[in-house]
Structure 1
Amino acid sequence: MPSTNHFDYVIIGNGLAGLQLALQLSSDSFFDNKQVLLIDKSDKNSNDKTWCFWEKHTGKWDHIVYRTWDKAMFHTSKTALKLSLSPYKYKMIRSIDFYKDAKSILSKKANFHFVLGDVIDINENDLVTIQTKDNFYTANHVFDSRINNTFFNKKDNYIRINQHFKGWTIETDSDVFDPDRFTMMDYRIKDGNQTAFTYILPFSTKKALVEFTYFTPQIVDDSTYDVYLKKYILDILKIEDYTITQLETGNIPMTNFPFQTHSTKHITKIGTAGGWVKGSTGYSFKHTEKKVLKIIENLKLNKLPSKGLYNKRYAFYDKVFLRVLQDENDKGEWIFEKFYTKNSVETMFEFLDEESSFYNDLKIMNALFSFSFIKAFFKTLLF
């Protein structure tokens, strides 16, 4: 237990955002004299999720990357597209490896402290008071990864698409998978006219994560995922005998809800609660890395930590895309087919990383040009 109840920074939530922020603080000598407290109700000792991202060449997380791919497949109902990702690699990190690595590094820092607890209340004055079930703490600044309750009320006009999924890691007795090529999206098995697809990460010729994913406003019963996973494995992969060794489920918000407006002078919302998940894709790992670096820069310049974290241009693009999925959810397969077949990998990834030129943005828009997007564009512009 820490010997004091007051800290320079308190980080609530030891997930992706909280631990990336703590690691960056710990690696910068500017913060060596700052006392940092991390609070989480979980000890983070289980492999509860998987993060994937694309990256050129080597990266700062390579020492914990579980698997990489430089080739991919994309299937629609009628076509199959082989993608070379060069100069990128698609990288996968297991959450348990990330948690262990982060805790190992931070535990060696005398100014970093961990508390197992559930935050039940925060009050902001000149200092921020954090109340847990067992104790209270004060801080000069709090980084809070808890989603504001107003997001769940749904009494507004913001778009909310659920990226919800269930994945099975399966093992077979025979060689089935190509371990050098993952499947980004496969639309050959669908649930009616909804946007739903299968995602495959092969770890070897006999082992892979097979995940059935929806991009829909509503969610489904747990048994529904099982139906389509079984159907895909039997009808598409032609596998009759296999063992399920691990399960993974999740629900990632794809939304234009203004999470960032809930940050204040002394409280900065981070992670999903700060709008760090890209609205149109659900990817968050590299976006988190960039936003953490911006926060560190702001802190060192004595600026508001949340200053400059958000790009209005890409937020508008995401909103148009989400509006199409909300109004015409059956268009998902068509959208992604145009996106992947009419653009280079580099153009797509730069756009999704929010690093593209306006010229390349126009190329992306041209590929998706349709009446559905025209309607969504003007609805987004006017409302």
Structure 2
Amino acid sequence: MWQRGAVTDSAPLDVDLALLGGGGAASLVLAALDRHGVRGLRIAVVDPVRRRGQDRTWAFWGHPGSDLDPLLSASWQRVEVATPARRRVLELAPLRYAMLRSGPVYDRAAEAERRLGAIRIGAPAAAVHDDGDRVVVRTGGDGPTVRADWVLDSRPRPPARPGRTTWLQHFRGWWLESDRPVFDPDRAVLMDFRTPQPRRGVSFGYVLPVSDRYALVEYTEFGPELLTDAGYDAALTGYRDLLGLPGDGLRVREVENGVIPMTDAPFPARPTPRVVRLGTAGGATRPSTGFTFSAMYRQADQVARALAAGRAPVPAPAYPRRHRWMDAVALRALDRGSVGGPEFFDRLFDRNPPERVLRFLDGTTSPAEEVAVMNSTRLRPMIAATAGDAAHRVRDRLRPTRPAPAIPAAVVATPTPPPGTGNRST
């Protein structure tokens, strides 16, 4: 007999919905199904790891008053964008910038899983076959075979083909605790471009304060190459000193590392009729910024609403096609060096209301607003990048498709090292 909550038997299992992967995207789906009162579905979660605790942090913007509010670590309606020339404080109302750590998300998902009567299979999905009527998922080890009407797959996957531009957003952050007040809890630093800029790419720091004594201080690069451990630590030390934080009475309580794809390569959201991909694998990562959480949340909500209404659990595309095109052009211009990253983002915030820029970066602006945003950039290099992108697209159509290289998935590890060990997770 199948037991709700855990499965160790090897007999076949028939379900209505199977979730492959149990990270952020799947957790948001489970919570959304519970929130929308979906009941009576046979659900299986196939993942070798039961996610718990703080293994990643998400930052996003939106309107206050959502169901996520009780889970937030902090939120801010004032943020700072800094360049070597000036420091600008932006008032975000009616939006706010928010920080959400993974522990509360996983806890809510576990409770939703229990209320939904979902079956958890502690094994990886080894093979997935979709015959158009049902999907057969063969699991590794002693796990059972699962037959599902629909599969939601959030496991990391490479793109369908190589991108015309492929960058990575890679970062390391220190959770810093101070003996005395050194942070402003009412204001986050969204982008600080006063960091030394790499030869190819963009770098910036940011600060997400939880209190006046505790904050996440992070160094980020957009570019084609990762740094070494020593390189990240040197960059963070330099940024800490740039912020004027004291050298004594300041402790690193946790370390975060992450790599997120920034590419115009396609991530098919529906590779077969009854398999739907979510998260980065389903195109939720915005190529020009690396932001993912808001799109994952929208996907989860749309899936739950569809199932509650008896429809297929297929969310809308994470971003409009025109936004994916604009991302491709912007990435090309940045990669070829025809525009500089600090200048590009500085002009966006200087010539547009903050709310418009944030909604643009989140993929929720109207065409008229997007014209205004594009007009705030330097037109000549962007026109050249547009022409180059168009020519590259034509060449892509004329040559055989080649397999895409694997791109690291969006992962942020957040261990809690013993004081003084300096240990960190990759």
TM-score (normalised: structure 2)? 0.83
Measure, in 2, the Cα distance between the counterparts of 1:26 and 1:279. 31
Which position in structure 2 is the counterpart of 1:122?
128
| More off after superposition, 38-47 vs 289-298 | 289-298
Structure 1 SS opposite 2:16:
strand
| Residue of structure 2 equivalent to 1:222 | 229
Distance between the aligned counterparts of 2:198 and 2:315, measured in 1? 42
1:142-164 residue CA offsets vs partner (Å, 9 max, x unmatched): 1111233456xxx7343221010
CA distance in 1, matches of 2:312, 2:48: 30
- Tell me the secondary structure at the aligned position of residue 283 of structure 1: coil
In 2, the alpha carbon distance for the partners of 1:348 and 1:137 equals: 44
1:184 aligns with one of 180, 190, 196: 190
Deviation, 1:212, is 0.4
How many angstroms does 1:308 deviate by?
Answer: 5.1
**Alpha carbons of 1:219 and 1:88: their partners in 2 closer, same or farther (altered >3 Å)?**
same
Extract structure 1 runs of 4+ deviating beyond 6 A.
none
Aligned to 1:328: 337
Distance 2:347 2:73 in 1: 31
Contact 1:216 1:329 survives alignment (8 Å): no
Does the 8 Å contact 2:267/2:281 carry over to 1?
Answer: yes
Shift of residue 35, structure 1, vs aligned partner:
0.4
Partner residue of 1:359?
368
- Report how far residue 169 of structure 1 moved: 0.5
Asked if the contact 2:134/2:147 (under 8 Å) is kept, the reply is yes
Task: Answer with 365-374 or 85-94: which moved more.
Answer: 365-374
Q: 1:301-320 alignment to 2 at 5 Å?
A: 302-303=311-312, 305=314, 310-320=319-329
Q: Match of 2:299?
A: 291
Structure-2 residue corresponding to 1:34: 41
1:48 lines up with 2:30 in the alignment: no
CA contact (8 A) 1:127 1:266 kept: yes
RMSD, aligned α-carbons: 2.1
Paired with 1:373 and 1:78, the residues of 2 have a C-alpha distance of 23
Equivalents in 1 of 2:73, 2:57: separation in Å?
10
**Residues 52-71 of structure 1 mapped to structure 2, 5 A cutoff:** 52-71=59-78
Select the residue among 3, 25, 42 that pairs with 1:17.
25
Does 1 or 2 have the higher relative contact order (CA < 8 Å, sep 6+)?
A: 2
Give the number of the structure whose residues are more often helix, by fraction. 1
Please state if 1:350 is matched with 2:359: yes
Q: What is the aligned counterpart of 2:380 among 367, 371, 374?
A: 371
Identity within the alignment, %: 28
- 1:121 partner amino acid: A
Unaligned runs of 5+ in 1: none
Query: For residue 261 of structure 2, what is the amino acid of its counterpart?
Result: P
- The number of aligned residues is 378
Worse-matched range after superposition: 216-225 or 373-382: 373-382
Q: Which moved more, 1:286-295 or 1:59-68?
A: 286-295
Corresponding residue of 2:256: 248
Instruction: Report Cα offsets for 1:31-90 as digits up to 9, x if no partner.
Output: 422101111122112311111111123111111111111111111112111111111111
Q: Is the 8 A contact 1:296 1:305 kept in 2?
A: no
What's 2:172 paired with?
A: 166
When residues 66 and 304 of structure 1 are mapped into structure 2, their CA distance, relative to the original with a 3 A threshold, is closer
